[in-house]
Amino acid sequence: MTLTALAQHLAEHVSNAATQRVEVKVLYGAAVAFDRRLATVPTARTEIGEALDELVRAGIVMLPSSPKYFDRRETPPLPMWVRRPPRERQARARREVRVWPAVLEEAGRLASRDDEYAVLEIVAAFLRGGGAEHPSVPARERSLELFGDEKRLDGLAMTRLFTSGALTLELLRCHAVPIPFVSQWVPGRADPRGTALLIAENHHTYTSLLEVIRECAGQGGPGRHVGYGTGSQFPSAVLTVPLLEPRPERIVYFGDIDLKGLQIPAAADLNARGAGLPEVAPALPLYELLFQHAHRRPADRVAPDLAGRASQWLGHLAEHASAALTIGYRLPQEAVGYELLSSHLGILDLV
């Protein structure tokens, strides 16, 4: 049968409810949210009652069998709750006993659905064919080989076979590949402190830094990589630093003074150190310039303890950054733009 729009909305609300029994006062509120007219019209109770009757006739809900569970303080009476009908239990077909390679026994005990068994069959065939001896390749390459879909492993990695540790990318001889950041090498003189990679949080600042560093290199400044960290991608993307040539010996970062702008490089620093890469250090001369030429923008206040932890990465500027976060303002890095940088070329030699 075709339900009215209100009845259809209530049916969806019942279907999505966490419990089998749903209080009608909750459905009443859902009805008013769906049709604001019901908040004031005298026929609201009648219309909602009729919608509930539609759900009963459609077999979507059951009403209480006892009159004591009806609210009769107003007309018409409404049930205090409705209940989803019990679902018929389907007998599970007995599954044939499968023998898995030893490394898949835990996954075999965990699997209970056809789609999970299908994944294990593919993995088992890969291992029986000598897969353990294959070199580790990017995950999407292995995913295409095994499942005919380069993105299938992306989804499988979130399922219980993987989150439990029963299956791993290592077992499939593949690895995740972080999204690399945009980077350009600017040739220049050798830097006695080592080849640097300067990362900007935002792409407009990246463009200005790239132009000014090219000018600086043309006047005898050091060669370096200039990169755009792609915002919150940088903690993962920093792991692709070894792909750059010449390989950076220093990683310096310049971003906004706000909670996210400080948490991103701090997280990237932890990831870099864990992978044996250079630390991600703040580009202090640029941050000092940002504080000197700040454009304060309003922001949500940050609790002092959280602001303090996030600001620690900034070293001697941590106190200034923490104060900005707790007072409730941020400093966009775009304040250190092309014109300001062009008038302070000497600072770039210090970064």
**Same domain, yes or no: 189 and 155:** no
Q: Tell me the two tokens of residue 294.
A: 């700040």
Identify whether the C-beta of residue 123 lies closer than 8 Å to the C-beta of residue 104.
yes
Q: Tell me the two tokens of residue 99.
A: 């023998």
**294 belongs to a structural domain:** yes
**88 belongs to a structural domain:** no
- Nearest 5 degrees, angle CA 253-CA 255-CA 257? 130
Q: Which residues partner with 198 through β-bridges?
A: 226, 252
**Same domain, yes or no: 215 and 319:** yes
Model confidence, pTM: 0.61
Cα 218 to Cα 189, 190, 213: the distances in Å are 10, 13, 8
**Same domain, yes or no: 107 and 220:** no
Amino acid at 157: A
Query: Last residue of some domain: 83, 116, 132?
Result: 83
Give the pLDDT score at 95: 55
Residue from 210, 308, 206, 214 nearest 254 by CA: 206
Q: Which residues partner with 254 through β-bridges?
A: 200
Q: Which range of residues forms the domain containing residue 139?
A: 102-175
**Same domain, yes or no: 207 and 324:** yes
**92 belongs to a structural domain:** no
Query: Last residue of some domain: 122, 151, 175?
Result: 175
Cα 173 to Cα 130, 137, 206, 245: the distances in Å are 11, 7, 36, 27
**43 belongs to a structural domain:** yes
**90 belongs to a structural domain:** no
Query: Last residue of some domain: 151, 175, 199?
Result: 175
**91 belongs to a structural domain:** no
Give the pLDDT score at 91: 47
- Nearest 5 degrees, angle CA 220-CA 338-CA 290? 100
- What percent of the chain is predicted at pLDDT more than 70? 97
**Same domain, yes or no: 135 and 234:** no
**Same domain, yes or no: 323 and 208:** yes
**96 belongs to a structural domain:** no
**45 belongs to a structural domain:** yes
Q: Tell me the two tokens of residue 166.
A: 């029963």
Residue 175: count of CB within 10 angstroms of its CB: 12
Find the CATH number of the domain harbouring 191: 3.40.1360.10
**Same domain, yes or no: 52 and 115:** no
Amino acid at 147: F
**Same domain, yes or no: 243 and 339:** yes
- Per the structure, the count of domains in the chain is 3
**Same domain, yes or no: 153 and 189:** no
**Same domain, yes or no: 20 and 116:** no
- Residue identified by tokens 């029994």 is 21
pLDDT in tens, the chain (351 residues): 678 889 888 988 888 887 889 999 989 988 888 888 888 888 999 999 999 999 999 889 999 988 889 998 888 999 999 998 876 555 455 556 678 999 999 999 999 888 899 999 999 999 999 999 999 998 999 999 999 889 899 889 989 999 999 999 999 999 988 877 899 999 999 999 999 999 999 999 999 999 999 999 999 999 999 999 988 889 999 999 999 999 999 999 999 999 999 999 999 999 999 999 999 999 999 999 999 998 899 999 999 999 999 999 999 999 999 999 999 999 999 999 999 999 988 888 888
Amino acid at 43: T
For the stretch 323-340, what's the b/e string if a residue is b when 16 or more beta carbons lie within 10 angstroms of its beta carbon? ebbbeebbbbbebbbbeb
**Same domain, yes or no: 344 and 216:** yes
**Same domain, yes or no: 125 and 262:** no
